[in-house]
């Protein structure tokens, strides 16, 4: 049950921490409620233990694991691989905090730009990404195998400063060029 939908009082109470293998069972419970083709336990554990480019985080609210996100940092580009919030805790600013934390960490890893793929029908996620300065730069037709849906490839050209961008940037007028091109390799957020 969601405690509140007003994100402001909640934002300060959200704790962000690196994901550990011990978090995976709770992550999987959210994963299965969030995606039609959820990742397996092995996929998450492999990302945590074997992928040197991967960085995964969790969000806790009141001590409860309520969301997670991950990315690959390759050279100066960060590829968001996943982001999800417990359905009972959506609309409270947790997705925003997770994405901001990814952006902060990507900058520390030396990344300057960030990309992701999103279902064409996922307007909630697209709205979150646009608030963070991501702009659609390409389409992958039939990318999602469960229903043949297209993926929209989005890029944020400048990660610094991390977090939501000012309104003039959000509409695409203030960000960098259109050189996003194709996203390389990530599984799609
Ligand atoms: C996408 C997702 C991570 C957003 O998490 P969240 O915690 O609900 O998001 P927030 O509360 O931080 O909201 C951030 C922004 O998302 C958008 N948003 C959130 N809930 C929304 C809703 N119900 N309707 C429309 N926009 C919404 C808004 O732009 C919001 O900013 P605003 O409050 O300033 O308008 C969450 O909906 C989710 O887990 N969805 C299922 C998994 C998924 O689709 N992941 C993305 C794959 S690409």
The CATH number of residue 88's host domain is 3.40.630.30
CA neighbor of 133 nearest in space, from 99, 85, 82, 83: 99
89 DSSP assignment: G
In the chain, the number of structural domains is: 1
Using the mean position of ligand 1's atoms as its centre, give its distance from the Cα of residue 85 in Å. 8
From 80, 96, 164, give the residue whose CB has the most ligand 1 atoms within 8 Å, as the site to mutate: 96
53 catalytic, yes or no?
Answer: no
Per-residue pLDDT of the chain (189 residues; tens, 9 = 90+): 445 555 555 778 999 999 999 999 999 999 999 999 999 999 999 999 999 999 999 999 999 999 999 999 999 999 999 999 999 999 999 999 999 999 999 999 999 999 999 999 999 999 999 999 999 999 999 999 999 999 999 999 999 999 999 875 554 443 333 333 333 333 446
The predicted pLDDT at position 12 comes to: 81
Q: Which domain holds residue 41?
A: 7-170
Helices (H), the chain: 7-11, 24-34, 41-50, 94-108, 123-131, 167-170
56 catalytic, yes or no?
Answer: no
The predicted pLDDT at position 91 comes to: 94
* Cα separations in angstroms, 23 against 12, 44, 96, 105, 148: 22, 10, 20, 19, 31
Please report the atom of ligand 1 found closest to the CA of residue 86: 39
Q: Is there a domain that residue 138 lies in?
A: yes
Which of the following is catalytic: 31, 47, 77, 117? Answer: 117
Using the mean position of ligand 1's atoms as its centre, give its distance from the Cα of residue 88 in Å. 12
């Amino acid at each position: 049950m969601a405690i509140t939908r007003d994100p402001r009082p909640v934002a300060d109470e959200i704790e962000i921490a690196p994901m550990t293998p011990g978090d995976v069972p709770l992550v999987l419970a959210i994963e299965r409620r969030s995606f039609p083709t959820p990742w397996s336990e092995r996929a998450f554990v492999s990302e945590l233990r074997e992928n040197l480019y991967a960085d995964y985080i969790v969000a806790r609210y009141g001590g409860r694991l309520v969301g997670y996100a991950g990315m690959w940092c390759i050279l100066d580009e960060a590829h968001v691989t996943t982001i999800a919030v417990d359905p009972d805790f959506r609309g409270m600013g947790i997705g925003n905090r997770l994405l901001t934390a990814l952006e902060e960490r990507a900058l520390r890893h030396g990344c300057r730009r960030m990309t992701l793929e999103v279902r064409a029908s996922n307007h909630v996620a697209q709205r979150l990404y646009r608030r963070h300065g991501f702009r659609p730069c390409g389409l992958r037709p039939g990318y999602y195998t469960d229903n043949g849906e297209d993926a929209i490839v989005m890029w944020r050209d400048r990660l610094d400063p991390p977090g939501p961008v000012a309104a003039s940037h959000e509409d695409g007028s203030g960000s960098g060029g259109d050189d996003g091109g194709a996203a390389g390799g990530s599984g799609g957020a």
